[in-house]
Amino acid sequence: MGWIKGEGEIEDSYKISKIAAHVPDLVVYSTLTNDIPYAENFHGVLLFADVPGFTNLAEKFSLSSKKGYGADELTRTLNSYIGEIVSHILDAGGDILNYAGDAILALWTVERVQLSEVISLVVKCSLNIQDQCGVRETEVGCQLKVKIGISAGKLSKVIVGDEISQYFVVIGRAVDEVRLAEGLAVASTIILSPNAWELCERDNIAIDPIENERAVKVRYIKREPSFSVEKYQDSIGTSVEHDKVTRECVRRASRLMPNAELEKTLRKYIMKTVLQKIDDDQPLEYLSEMRPATIVFVNMQFKGGESDQEQCMTIHQAAIGIGQQIVKHHGRVNKVFMFDEGCTFLCLFGLPGDKREDESAHALQAAYGVHDLCQKEIRSLKTVSVGVTTGPVFCGVVGHPVRHEYTGTIHLDILLNSQLELCFATATLL
């Protein structure tokens, strides 16, 4: 699949490790006995890395490649680049929370008193990424670049769902700030959010101010962070270790021994489309393709002032109801994530095994069902927006050999040029 090869490969591992490769350590090493839903507080540093230009790259590959091979070459190119970025994050002790197409959200859990030191560690990791992966030429003439946002502070892990499907979401001010910081970044830059700049070792990080913003642009780090990766690993008990022979970072989840209870739990976080390939012991690259599909976005905005537990219960109620509506109409919930001070569900119709001739009609029926559900049954929300769009979608497994995810990334330029958006509705809930 074009991944960077090295220590930590999972081809010969037990099935549970192949399943765990699709789930972050935040979930893999959770307590299995907690009743769902639940919220768990902790402190952490977030890194959000985005690779702009994916749409242009996808279009170039689809136009220049032989018929049927464009998606394979796109996946190989994208995973080679993203896999190298992820290697730097894993090597610095980070946990990949999720992928959103060509974007990566990573986490370093930390004790409150160590936030400033770990921010320096993450800044150094980001500088290494920009130094080694800042600009990458591709065979179709497109440049790949990365822009990075960093935030820090109090976070909550929220686990929701039922006996069939479960989801995790990380919530908190730092989540909103890391997306704000990434939004202020341009290619090849690193932005510290206002909270990260407040908490960091200011005398050790050279920055440029950003006009009319409290966030700052990182220039360089003056000296090695006093808190080393090894010290972080010893202190936090991270789930990444270094191989003594190769000195490569190894995700411990890639060496899991069979555990029926844990495997049963982890399977709930993975789409049926992927589980079928793993169960059949088929290569995951068979899932990589550019295919016509329909996407339903559901964005829920909170009223504000809710506790973590209240947000947890709201997301849980929505996950159950939205999941039932989507599956009823032959779709799948692909991702749940926090965005723009709200929670977003990304749902896909037309995946392998779920293809229907009238999938757009099914998606519209599901969208109206979700909209009606949120209006009538989830009264703790401020607004709910439901969007439906259809067109060419890149579907495939994106990431690193030991940590990757199946994702659907819509080809926005084609959609906008073809005016294929079907509907967009927003309800204000009183």
Q: Above 60 in pLDDT, residue 324?
A: yes
Range of the domain at 199: 15-428
Number of domains within the chain:
1
Write down the pLDDT at residue 264: 96
Distance between CA 383 and CA 342 in Å, rounded?
9
Mean pLDDT of the region 271-285: 91
Write down the pLDDT at residue 430: 37
Say which amino acid occupies 139: E
Q: Above 90 in pLDDT, residue 365?
A: yes
Burial (CB count within 10 angstroms: exposed 0-12, middle 13-18, buried 19+), residue 212: exposed
In-domain check, residue 1: no
Write down the pLDDT at residue 6: 47
Mean pLDDT of the region 49-76: 72
Token couple for 341: 């001070």
- Greater confidence, 380 or 217? 217
Write down the pLDDT at residue 316: 97
The backbone torsions φ and ψ at residue 205, rounded to the nearest 5 degrees and listed phi first, read -120, 115
Q: Above 70 in pLDDT, residue 173?
A: yes
Q: Above 50 in pLDDT, residue 421?
A: no
CATH number of the domain where residue 160 is located:
3.30.70.1230
What's this model's pTM, rounded to 2 decimal places?
Answer: 0.90
| pLDDT band, residue 375 (cuts 50/70/90) | confident
Write down the pLDDT at residue 134: 83
Distance between CA 86 and CA 123 in Å, rounded?
15
The backbone torsions φ and ψ at residue 293, rounded to the nearest 5 degrees and listed phi first, read -155, 170
In-domain check, residue 7: no
Write down the pLDDT at residue 211: 95
In-domain check, residue 3: no
- Greater confidence, 423 or 210? 210
Q: Above 60 in pLDDT, residue 1?
A: no
Average pLDDT, the chain: 86
SS (H, E, C) 20-88: HCCCCHHHHCCCCCCCCCEEEEEEEEEEEEECCCHHHHHHHHHHHCCCCCHHHHHHHHHHHHHHHHHHH
Distance between CA 92 and CA 336 in Å, rounded?
26
In-domain check, residue 141: yes
In-domain check, residue 10: no
**86-123: per-residue pLDDT in tens?**
999 999 999 999 998 789 999 999 999 999 999 999 99
In-domain check, residue 6: no
| pLDDT band, residue 422 (cuts 50/70/90) | very low
Mean pLDDT of the region 353-365: 89
Q: Above 70 in pLDDT, residue 4?
A: no
In-domain check, residue 4: no
In-domain check, residue 79: yes
Name the percent of the chain lying above pLDDT 70: 86
Q: Above 70 in pLDDT, residue 200?
A: yes
